[in-house]
Every structure is written in C-alpha cells, then in structure tokens.
C-alpha cells in the first residue's frame, strides 16, 4: 500500500507523505485487518478499498485546513478514521477520539500504542456527554466526523466542542447539499456560521464526496448538547 498511497495523496491533495508516515499507515492497515474479524470494526476489508475509503478519504480533510491543525476532536471515530490518519499526517496534532463503542475504542488505543503516537486521548463516551464536559467543551480548533448522523444532529455533537474561531467539519456523500440546506437553523442555534461545501475527488472512486465546513462564530448555549439520544430523536 505504501507507494500507491504516497502517489495518490500527492496527486489528489498535494500532500507529501514521508516514507515513515506511509509505513505507519501500512502498519495501521495490517492491525485493522488482523482485528477486524474479531471485532467487526469496518465493512471495508479489501486492501485497495481500505487505502481509498479509509486513508485517502481521511486525508481529504486536509483540503479544509489553511494551516496544519493544532487540536482536533474526532467524534464517532469507529476504527479511528479520520482522526488517527490525520494524526499520522500531522504529528504535532493534539488529538481526541470519541467512540462510545468499547471494543472500537480499545482498538483505537491499541493502534495508538503500537504506532507510538503521542498526545492522543481516546474517550469511550457519548458525544453529548463529552460536549458538556468542561475539559473538552470549546477546547478544540476543529471537530470532525464522518458517517455518524445527519448534519443538523452532527452539528449538536461537534460545535459545542469547538473554540470560537474554530470550525466543525463533516465528511459527507451526495446528500451533503441537501443536508447543508436543512442544517441552517441548527448551526445558527449552536453558534455556527453558514455551511461551506468543498467537493472531494478520491482517486479510483466515482461517488460524490464533500467536506461540509461551518465556522464557530459564537459560544454554544449552555443547554447544548442535550441529553444523550435527544439530538438524534429531536433534531434542531
């Protein structure tokens, strides 16, 4: 995977990975394959699909960053994407990964230890709980997520974690324009600005992809996020 990943990351996103970074991705992919059968971490199992739909898809977040991010929280991280891939890309990143499913959180911790990654925190908790925790509320420059929830729900998970002047980033498919239109009220209520869509092209994949970005303009009101489960049941 190493050489094709280096070439694709450079061609698609202008990223120049070192051989050490590519090797770390290779090791991550090996761990994912080894543990996937036992823990059912991801439905994506083919090595080429892992390269495209996990690593390159994660690296596409770089299109949103004018400069390398200093702090980032990945909500609903699953097997660690996009957060851990971004940590490999940006070694100085202060990273927190929120994953409520215990077995997935333990796998993320295993990868962190195996790769020797520093300044990484794994939280096996609900996003709503983390968003009300003073240690994490308004503590990050970026909050990111992919394939977690519809955008109005996702905004309630992400924006409380972001500093004013920071931003939330949602990785979305073809539904992104419709979801962005539907999320205007939620974003405004939570202190966010209007959403901006960045088209993403992953080499070898034809399906539509977008980054949906909303800047944090004002502090999120204290009542948000609401109790666990409420944002999904009663979206703003």
pLDDT digits (tens, 9 = 90+) for 138-197: 999 999 999 778 999 999 999 999 999 999 999 999 999 999 999 999 999 999 999 999
CATH number where 206 lies? 3.40.50.150
Establish if 17 belongs to a structural domain.
Answer: no
Output 203 or 177, whichever has higher pLDDT: 177
Establish if 46 belongs to a structural domain.
Answer: no
pLDDT grade for 64, boundaries at 50, 70 and 90? very high
Residues in contact with 203: Cβ distance below 8 Å, sequence separation at least 6, in sequence order: 8, 11, 12, 52, 56
Domain count, the chain: 1
Q: Give burial (CB, 10 Å; 0-12/13-18/19+) of 20.
A: exposed
Establish if 112 belongs to a structural domain.
Answer: yes
Establish if 13 belongs to a structural domain.
Answer: no
Q: Give burial (CB, 10 Å; 0-12/13-18/19+) of 110.
A: middle
Nearest residue to 221 (alpha-carbon basis) of 139, 144, 165, 138 = 138
Q: Which residues pair with 211 in a beta bridge?
A: 171, 198
Output 51 or 174, whichever has higher pLDDT: 174
Establish if 130 belongs to a structural domain.
Answer: yes
Establish if 60 belongs to a structural domain.
Answer: yes
Residues in contact with 137: Cβ distance below 8 Å, sequence separation at least 6, in sequence order: 131, 160, 161
Q: Report yes or no on whether pTM surpasses 0.85.
A: yes
Q: Is the pLDDT at 43 greater than 70, yes or no?
A: no
CA distances from 178 to 167, 181, 195 (A): 20, 5, 11
Are 192 and 214 within 8 A, CB to CB? yes
Nearest residue to 198 (alpha-carbon basis) of 179, 171, 168 = 171
Query: What residue numbers bound the domain in which 103 lies?
Result: 54-233
Establish if 49 belongs to a structural domain.
Answer: no
Q: State the pLDDT at residue 45.
A: 66
Establish if 194 belongs to a structural domain.
Answer: yes
Span 127-131, average pLDDT? 98
Question: In the chain, which ranges are continuous DSSP H helix?
Answer: 2-13, 19-39, 47-50, 57-59, 83-89, 102-115, 127-131, 151-158, 176-182, 184-189, 230-233
């Amino acid at each position: 995977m190493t050489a094709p990943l280096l070439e694709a990351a450079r061609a698609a996103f202008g990223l120049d990975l070192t051989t050490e970074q590519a090797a770390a991705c290779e090791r991550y992919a090996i761990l994912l394959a080894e543990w996937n059968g036992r823990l059912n971490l991801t439905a994506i199992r083919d090595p080429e699909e892992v390269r495209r739909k996990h690593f390159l898809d994660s690296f596409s977040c770089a299109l949103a960053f004018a400069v390398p991010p200093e702090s980032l929280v990945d909500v609903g991280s699953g097997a660690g994407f996009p957060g851990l891939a971004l940590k490999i890309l940006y070694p100085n990143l202060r990273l927190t990964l929120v994953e409520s499913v215990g077995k997935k959180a333990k796998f993320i911790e295993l990868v962190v230890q195996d790769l020797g990654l520093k300044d990484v925190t794994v939280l096996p908790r609900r996003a709503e709980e983390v968003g009300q925790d003073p240690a994490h509320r308004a503590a990050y420059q970026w909050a990111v997520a992919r394939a977690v929830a519809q955008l109005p729900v996702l905004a309630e998970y992400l924006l409380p974690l972001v500093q004013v002047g920071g931003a939330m980033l949602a990785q979305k498919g073809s539904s992104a324009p419709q979801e962005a239109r539907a999320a205007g009220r939620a974003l405004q209520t939570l202190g966010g600005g209007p959403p901006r869509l960045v088209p993403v092209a992953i080499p070898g994949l034809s399906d539509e992809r977008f980054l949906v970005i909303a800047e944090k303009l004002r502090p999120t009101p204290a009542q948000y996020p609401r109790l666990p489960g409420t944002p999904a049941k009663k979206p703003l």
